[in-house]
Structure 1
Amino acid sequence: MFKVMIRDNMSPVAKERLEALSQIEVVVDNNKETNSPEALSGIIKDFHAIAIRSGTKITEQVLANAPNLKVIGRAGVGVDNIDVEAATKRGIIVMNAPGGNTITTAEHALSLMLSLARNIPQGTASLREGKWEKKALTGVEITGKTLGIVGLGQIGRVVAERAGGLKMKVIAADPFVSKSSAREMGVDLVSLDELFSLSDFITLHVPRLKETAGMINDKALQKMKPGVRIINCSRGDVVDLDALHEAIQNGHVAGAALDVFPKEPPDPSLLILKNPKIIFTPHLGASTDEAQDKVAVMIADQIADYLEKEIITNAVNFPSISKDILLHIVPHLSLSEKMGSLMGQLIRKSHDITITYSGEFAKLNTRLLTHAVLKGLLSSFTDKPVNQINSLSLAKEKGIAVKETMSLATDDFT
């Protein structure tokens, strides 16, 4: 019997999906007092899986007190609240639910853009104060305007598609997308500097990386077209709030719409919160009933698949393998582990390793087999628990270089 904890007011469908399986006991804990790592550390010992949203933090301290934990499921995309590296070293799978909130977040970005263009929140607030400020709240049309999308991933692509229907000219900057791929979506791929200088509206859809932290800073804002309007539904620390506030105050930026903040909830004393040309929402990008149900179903099914069948889907710290490829690879997992164990027993020390895949195997995703070889190898000369999740991490920790080579030639072995 597996025990699963569900937290953060996740949609009830997650509990329903998991309880439908006879081998899983579900405990729902929405107590915010146990969100902290200190409190969670005291109650997680007996659980094999935990499903969370953004409210719960899974730290090294929590993981150190979770000897039975096999999988962490994040009902959403971002895993900033999970120490993925620490989980990997302990052999714990970290899964997310990409795509479940794609449409919802894209729609929210477009809603903010339209609200920004026509001063809708300001008009509402003005009327509630008994004012009638038609002239002061004159807006701009979006038809024919240029929308710059920074990050053409799943959400950015939906934004691009919808914006095209609104008769906007869509350009994008993304180093991981080819011009031909962008062109198929009706998007012109440009450099980031070009996007800054050409866009009337800029919407941000980038992950939290070292390269994206503070990317919208004073220098970037100065490169932007005068009168630009900026929308951020990605990550809070992508935008330097002080620099943005100053750019709006001096008139270079016409306005902004922010759904995310570097620290959430933000400090109420922040100057930017009092800027009338900026509209805010409290991280509502993924907050629709439909999206919450989708990600809850996804993460519940993924956790169940892993606990009961060891099928890995949407893992952020391990290769996800399709069921078709898994059928080809599974019979060779045990052999791969035994070959690694044999090498470990022969050399009895850390040693660089080259793994060659020949014939039909060279066409498949063989990373699972590589992890199995490393599991066998490392288990021969380390007292640390080794499994397929942490084997590559432990190999790197020991300075073992791992090289994979592929050959379509089919060789005979004697």
Structure 2
Amino acid sequence: MHRIVISEFMDEDAVALLRARFDVTYDPRLVDQPERLAAAIATVPALIVRNRTQVREALLDAAPRLRVIGRLGVGLDNIDITACAERGVRVIPATGANADAVAEYVIAAVLILLRGAYGATARIAAGEWPRTALTGREAQARLLGLVGFGDIARRIVPRAKALGMRIAACDPLVNDHEIRRNGAEPMPLDRLVAEADAVSLHVPLTDTTRKLIDAQRIAAMRRDAVLINTARGGIVDEDALVAALKGGRLGGAALDVFESEPPEEPRRFADVPNLLLTPHIAGVTQESNRRVSLMIAERVATELDRLE
């Protein structure tokens, strides 16, 4: 019977599906205990992770029998793909399984930030009545700029259009015809950043996208524009973003991902106006967790069957 180690949380039904056929070690604490994790995978052919488990050369060296890694999500920056390929380890992401959850998160963040009316509970409970201060903006007719035009960005398009928004997109890997065919206007990055009322990021973290939204590009944005990052931490210059929000040079921002997770200096985000922070959960809902988990359980099982 093949053995599988699961180092981060997974839907219980998916874990049960695997346990019916394999010897499964399911311990979400392993992600914070690298020595225990290395020992646990020393003789196993399969490992299932989310985004926090760092699958680098040292961990791979500790698991010479490893043949498949299931990723409960789509980003692969926590996995050394080259090192896996050199060792004959197949990496399987849950492509598409959480895309709808992220798309809904982006739309919600755009609406919350544009309207600016949903943080007044404490003030009203304290006896204030700040109607004038909470006069926000509508999404209708606003320009939403999508940086990166993969599966998630394309799912955002119909949702945003249902609100009457206009959509622009840029992606060096997608031609203009394809962007138009999927309902968006092709637009160069710097023009998109300068003209959009809301900018949402959907690119992987690479050498070319690190600090893609830096101080210069943030300064080029409209003063009332909003920025949403559900892609990867490091694409936005966090210090520059905080400075712009504190200085009133940007309308708002939502960050679901950070340069380090959890952030190494979380206090720098305290008391920053019009900033929404969430702990890398844009793609995590009850429904998406089940879809992601079952997809990876089935694909890892299929891969293990091939080893027999």
1:179 and 1:189 in contact (8 A); partners too: yes
String of CA shifts for 1:343-387, please: whole Å, max 9, x gaps: xxxxxxxxxxxxxxxxxxxxxxxxxxxxxxxxxxxxxxxxxxxxx
53-62 or 283-292: bigger deviation: 53-62
Pairing of 1:123-142 with structure 2 (within 5 A): 123-142=120-139
Q: 2:290 matched to which residue of 1? A: 293
1:175 aligns with 2:181: no
What percent identity do the matched residue pairs reach? 37
> Could you tell me which residue of structure 2 aligns to residue 154 of structure 1?
151
1:145 paired residue among 135, 142, 147? 142
SS of the equivalent of 2:168 reads strand
Residue 25 (1) aligns with residue 23 (2): yes
Q: Does 1:275 align with 2:272?
A: yes
2:144–2:196 Cα contact (<8 Å) kept: yes
TM-superposed CA distance for 1:268, in Å, is 5.1
The aligned runs of 1:185-264 (5 Å cut-off) are 185-264=182-261
**Is the contact between residue 36 and residue 57 of structure 1 (CA under 8 Å) also seen in structure 2?**
no
Secondary structure of the structure 2 residue equivalent to 1:274: coil
Written as runs of structure 1 = structure 2, the 5 A alignment for 1:335-374 is none
Q: Distance in 1 between matches of 2:127 and 2:204?
A: 42
Deviations along 1:138-177, one digit per CA (max 9) or x if unpaired, are: 2111101111111110010111121011100111111111
Corresponding residue number in structure 2 for 1:93: 90
Partners of 1:219 and 1:85 lie apart in 2 by: 33
Is 1:8 the equivalent of 2:2?
no
Deviations 1:79-137 (A, max 9, x none): 22222222222221111111010000110111111111122442234345553322222
Residue identity in the other structure for 2:215: D
Structure-2 separation of matches of 1:232 and 1:96: 20
Partner of 1:105: 102
The alpha carbon displacement at 1:205 in A equals: 1.0
Change (3 A) 1:153 1:20: same
Please report how far the alpha carbon of residue 269 of structure 1 lies from its aligned counterpart in structure 2 after TM superposition. 4.5
The answer as to 2:72 corresponding to 1:75 is yes
User: Is the 2:117–2:135 contact (alpha carbons within 8 Å) kept by the matching residues of 1?
Assistant: no
Q: TM-score, normalised by structure 1?
A: 0.71
The alignment partner of 2:5 has SS state of strand
Partner in structure 2 of residue 163 of structure 1: 160
In structure 2, what residue type is equivalent to 1:293? R
Aligned length, in residue pairs: 308
8 Å Cα contact 1:216/1:239 also seen in 2: yes
CA offsets, 1:253-298, max 9 Å, x none?
A: 1111111111111245442332022111121211101111111111
> Contact 1:37 / 1:59 at 8 angstroms: preserved in 2?
no
User: In 2, are the aligned partners of 1:45 and 1:66 still within 8 Å (CA)?
Assistant: yes
Question: Distance in 2 between the 1:102 and 1:174 partners?
Answer: 18
TM-score by length of 2: 0.94
**Residue type of the alignment partner of 1:88:** A
Q: Return the letter of the residue paired with 1:226.
A: R
Q: In the alignment, residue 278 of structure 2 is paired with which amino acid?
A: T
CA distance in 1, matches of 2:237, 2:55: 27
Higher relative contact order (CA 8 A, sep 6+): 2
Unaligned 5+ segments in structure 1 are 312-414
C-alpha distance in 1 between matches for 2:102 and 2:5: 27
**Contact 2:117–2:136 (8 Å) recurs in 1:** no
Contact (CA 8 Å) 1:149, 1:172: kept in 2 or not? yes
What is the DSSP-based 3-state SS (H/G/I as helix, E as strand, rest coil) of the residue aligned with 2:135? coil
CA contact (8 A) 2:145 2:199 kept: yes
Q: CA deviation at 1:72?
A: 0.9
Distance 2:246 2:29 in 1: 41
Secondary structure of 1:4's match? Answer: strand
Pair member with larger Rg: 1
In 2 relative to 1, CA 121–251 (structure 1 residues): closer, same or farther, beyond 3 Å?
A: same
Alpha-carbon distance between aligned partners in 1 of 2:261 and 2:128, rounded to the nearest angstrom: 32
Where does structure 1 differ by over 3 angstroms across 4 or more consecutive aligned residues? 124-131, 267-270
Mapped to 1, the partners of 2:303 and 2:149 lie a distance apart of 30
Q: Secondary structure at the match of 2:40?
A: coil
Equivalent residue number for residue 281 of structure 2 = 284
Identify if the C-alpha distance between structure 1 residues 37 and 89 changes in structure 2 by more than 3 Å, giving closer, same or farther. farther
Q: Distance in 1 between matches of 2:277 and 2:123?
A: 16
Q: How big is the alpha-carbon RMSD for the aligned residues of Structure 1 and Structure 2?
A: 1.9
